[in-house]
Amino acid sequence: MKAYFLKLCFLLFATAAYSQAGHIMQGVGAVNMSMGGAATGQPLDISGAIQWNPASISTFDEKIIKFDLGLFFSSPELSSTVTDPTGNVFSGTTEDDRGVSPLPALAMVWGKEGSRHTFGASAFGISGFGVTFPESTTNPINMPQSMGGFGRIESNYNLLQLGFTYAYELSDKFSIGLQPTFNYATLKLIPNPTANPTLAGYPSTDNSTAFGFGGQLGLFYDSGNGFSAGASYKTKQSFGDFKFDNTYLDSSTGENEFKMDYPAIWSVGLGFSPGQFDLALDYRYVQYDKTDGFSTVGWTPTASVAGFGWDNISIVSAGIQYKGVDRLPLRLGYTYSSNPIGSDVAFFNVPATAIIKNAFQLGLSYEISDRWAIDGVYHMGFSGEATSGPILNPELVSSFPPYGAVPGSEVSYDMTTSMLMVGASYKFLN
């Protein structure tokens, strides 16, 4: 029953949580997404507050429950070029055929006017990546393994995070908060580059699962005259190993393990609310260089891939809310993220191409009553310039260190994303 319950929660709240910044969701819920993900110093709703600064839930003096559901569309394209020994150049492009993915979020806060204590609970899909590039006879990297390609390339990674949040008001202006977090993740790779290849090539694997834990600490300041600020530290989420049951093209089987944690995130944010406007600005620093699965890079001695080799990234989120229309607040949001994937390791990251440099959001809410409100947001994201680099071969490391770049070759990928999300919140009035 425990395993069934975990699977049910995962299906409901972390089905294809495809990310925007690295492999991190830029925001949670329609309100927070419409503000570009900015909430560390400007908590406009409980989902954004719980996700980015546990101390900021102290601003909510009621019991509130919120649910959001989005439909996420992505369109990655994978291109590659190779040059044969005679100088002939072969190139092609494959489009992803994954389709639409749901993106839910559930949060609840227990607050009470006059109390210094506020509690929260959440179930968020906070991370993910996934592609489905069909086998091709025209795109070199998607050619069958028997012809030197990888054939069909498919990946699916999702992370469900359960959080339990507590905030305490030190004074009328300062609050502190903490949040233990518990995580459940699945990972599927076709082919599986973390396994040792045989004469039959790299194997395929079904979904593997791993459990992890971590936490978040936060500080929040509310001046009382429209200015607010916050800071938080989300620790690395430490996971156990993914254990893969592999099947090779010749029907032989094998097993391997791969460890992939979730990176630590530092966030600082400012908020300002002059009159009918709410302004929010967040900066985040994501530490991939201290994260298993992302910090390591290159080939192992047995020609499996040691890790993704991602760099640390910066994320800037900004949003503005206008409250001049009665019961109909309007929002605009923007998110910028640097690219964690360098050109020298682009080849290792073909299964994880969900990198968005610029994202734009337009959202609104309708306050039906003092208890009910509904929210909506539309998102568009662009990867900017394509991520590209040479195709790598472990047999060429000695000739072309450090990773064995194949002369005259290139692999590149870019993508756009769009999403439509709606949400509803309910306040239990005292």
CA nearest neighbour of 379 among 68, 130, 10, 95: 68
Dihedral angle at the C-alpha atoms of 74, 268, 319, 179, nearest 10 degrees?
70
Taking phi over 0 as left and psi of -120 to 50 as alpha, with beta for the rest, 235 belongs to beta
**CA 19 to CA 313: how far, in whole Å?**
14
CA nearest neighbour of 185 among 158, 207, 205, 206: 158
Residue 378's alpha-carbon distances to 29, 235, 333, 358, in angstroms, are 12, 30, 10, 14
Rounded to two decimals, the pTM is 0.91
**CA 166 to CA 177: how far, in whole Å?**
5
CB 120 within 8 A of CB 50: yes
Where helices occur in 252-373 by DSSP H, the ranges are none
The string of pLDDT tens digits covering residues 349-399 is 888 766 789 999 999 999 999 999 999 999 999 888 888 999 999 999 999
- Which residues are registered as beta bridge partners of 89? 83
CA nearest neighbour of 419 among 19, 15, 13: 19
Percent of the chain with pLDDT strictly greater than 70: 94
Q: What is the structure's pLDDT at 22? A: 57
Q: What is the structure's pLDDT at 15? A: 41
**CA 112 to CA 167: how far, in whole Å?**
12
Q: What is the structure's pLDDT at 75? A: 81
The string of pLDDT tens digits covering residues 203-236 is 999 889 999 999 999 999 999 999 999 999 999 9
How big is the chain, counted in residues?
430
Determine the 3-state secondary structure of 146 from DSSP.
helix
CA nearest neighbour of 31 among 44, 18, 13: 44
**CA 387 to CA 45: how far, in whole Å?**
35
Distance of CA 171 to the CA centre of its chain: 35
Determine the 3-state secondary structure of 345 from DSSP.
helix
CB neighbour list of residue 392: distance below 8 Å, 6 or more residues apart: 299, 347, 348, 403, 404, 405, 406
- Low-confidence residues of the chain, pLDDT below 50? 1-19
CA nearest neighbour of 72 among 416, 428, 393, 424: 416
Q: What is the structure's pLDDT at 21? A: 56
CB 42 within 8 A of CB 271: yes
